[in-house]
Amino acid sequence: MIPAALALHHLSKHFGPTVAVDDVSLNVGAGETVALLGPSGCGKSTVLRCVAGLERPDAGRICIGGRDVTTLPPEARHVGLVFQDYALFPHLSVLGNVVYGPRMRGAGRAEAQRRAREALALVGLEPLAGRRTTELSGGQAQRVALARAVATGAPLLLLDEPLSNLDEQLRARLRGDLRELFARLRAGVLLVTHDQREALAVASRVAVMRAGRLVQVGAAQEVFARPATAWVAAFLGHANVLPGPDGLARLIPEDAVRLGVGDAFAVTARQTTDTGTEVTVAHPLGPLTLHLSAREAEDIHAQTLRLTVDPARVLTLPDDRERP
Ligand SMILES: Nc1ncnc2c1ncn2[C@@H]1O[C@H](COP(=O)(O)OP(=O)(O)OP(=O)(O)O)[C@@H](O)[C@H]1O
């Protein structure tokens, strides 16, 4: 059996009174991409830094490619790292930057060159091999950093918010590129992000983290379709997570709402957005926020909108959100 690219067993880490990571266990399979997803300050980067060996955990074990690395220094762990700022060397060419990865791992000059060219081809940057990294666009620099990590041949790649310095258009494009690239790698990938769309677009599994703990781990689409709690649902961007009695909440996915049939409800708020119109409708389940296309918005008559909610699609979830 191929060992997991990464296995975390009961990892914990505190800084003074702050519990940054609290009993986290997680596996990343060889060839699998897992997104560690959570709001700012929940402990994602600390997990990554512990895996990279930049932080020493208080408790727990870290295995990379089946080898216990918990007490090893960073350079002995064999992970490929891509951080937010890419940390490329400005005085070296694109190729020089990528060659540096395998050279650091002890590869000979010729072997390092071969692996670097292979990695550059993989990210589609071979034509720019001779260019200086100061002459690259943000997206190109990001791909060089990835190629450098890939060229090390590490069984595990760690990416910390790899798209966060790029503009929204470029991010959207690169999400698709990253997914394709990762699918071609044998390495496992652990991707840290606070961006739900990035996690859903790039990763096959997501691990949702809140205040140091993993609160849900599962297939990306599954976690989105069936969040375990109201907090997870709201964090993943579901607009309608309505508080109910007995500490429960109702999640009404937008596609559970059918427009143009059923009773008419009062539209209490209406706002134009870049994709259409956002409305709030007074519904017996609670105020429903809906995103309407221009065409759908034409169905608003006398400030009312006809709609039905498919009861079979409504999920009842424990409401673990903080009360305002
Ligand atoms: N070196 C440190 N010293 C003290 N506290 C720290 C240190 N590093 C992190 N923390 C604290 O640990 C908690 C988790 O931080 P961490 O950077 O892991 O979160 P994160 O989820 O990666 O956040 P972000 O998305 O903003 O980068 C935070 O409360 C943070 O303030």
Q: What is the DSSP string of 2-30?
A: PPPSEEEEEEEEEETTEEEEEEEEEEE-T
Using one digit for the tens of pLDDT, what is the confidence trace for 138-171?
888 888 988 888 898 889 999 988 777 777 777 7
315's tokens? 């999920």
What is the whole-number distance in angstroms between the Cα of residue 85 and the centre of ligand 1?
17
3-state secondary structure of 45: helix
Protein residue with its CA nearest to atom 29 in ligand 1 = 41
Dihedral of alpha carbons 243, 317, 253, 306, sign: negative
Ligand 1 midpoint to CA 179 (Å):
27
Half-sphere CA count of 232, side-chain side, radius 13 A: 24
Kindly tell me the number of DSSP H helices and DSSP E strands found in the chain: 9, 17
Q: Alpha-carbon Rg of the chain, whole angstroms?
A: 23
Largest CA distance in the chain: 75
Question: Among candidates 84, 67, 85, which has minimal Cα distance to 76?
Answer: 67
Contact between residue 4 and residue 160 where contact means Cβ atoms under 8 Å apart: no
Look at ligand 1, atom 18, and give the residue with the nearest C-alpha: 43
Percent of the chain predicted with pLDDT > 70 = 98
Residues with CB under 6 A from ligand 1: 15, 18, 20, 38, 40-46, 194
In the reported structure, the alpha carbon of residue 160 is separated from the centroid of ligand 1 by a whole-number distance in angstroms of: 13
Task: Give the domains, in start order, of the chain with CATH numbers.
Answer: 6-231 (3.40.50.300), 242-318 (no CATH)
Residue nearest atom 3 of ligand 1, based on CA coordinates = 15
| Residue type for position 283 | H
Q: For the segment 187-213, what is each residue's pLDDT rounded down to a tens digit? A: 899 999 988 988 998 999 999 999 999
Print burial letters for 7-29: b (CB count within 10 Å at least 16), e (below 16). Answer: bbbebbbeeeeebbbbebebbbb
Residue nearest to atom 17 of ligand 1 (CA): 45
* Average pLDDT of every residue of the chain: 91
Give the residue, out of 44, 83, 161, with the most ligand 1 atoms within 8 A of its beta carbon, to mutate for a pocket test: 44
**Quick check: ipTM above 0.90?**
yes
The pick from 14, 21, 46 for probing ligand 1's pocket by mutation, whose C-beta has the most ligand atoms within 8 angstroms, reads: 46
| Residues in CB range of 250: below 8 A, 6 or more apart | 240, 241, 242, 244, 285, 286, 314, 315, 316, 317
Predicted pLDDT at 316: 95
pLDDT in the model for residue 297: 87
Residue nearest to atom 31 of ligand 1 (CA): 41
Output the CA 82–ligand 1 centroid distance in Å: 18
**Separation of alpha carbons 118 and 107, rounded Å:** 14
Cβ atoms of residues 63 and 69 within 8 Å: yes
* pLDDT tens over the chain, length 324 residues: 778 999 999 999 999 999 999 999 999 999 999 999 999 999 999 999 999 999 999 999 999 999 999 999 998 898 988 877 667 888 889 999 999 888 888 889 999 999 999 889 888 888 999 999 888 888 888 889 888 888 988 899 999 887 777 777 777 877 888 888 888 888 899 999 988 988 998 999 999 999 999 999 999 999 999 999 999 999 999 999 999 888 999 999 999 999 999 999 999 999 998 888 999 999 999 999 999 998 888 888 889 999 999 999 999 999 999 876
pTM (predicted TM-score): 0.88
Ligand 1, atom 30, lies closest to the CA of 41
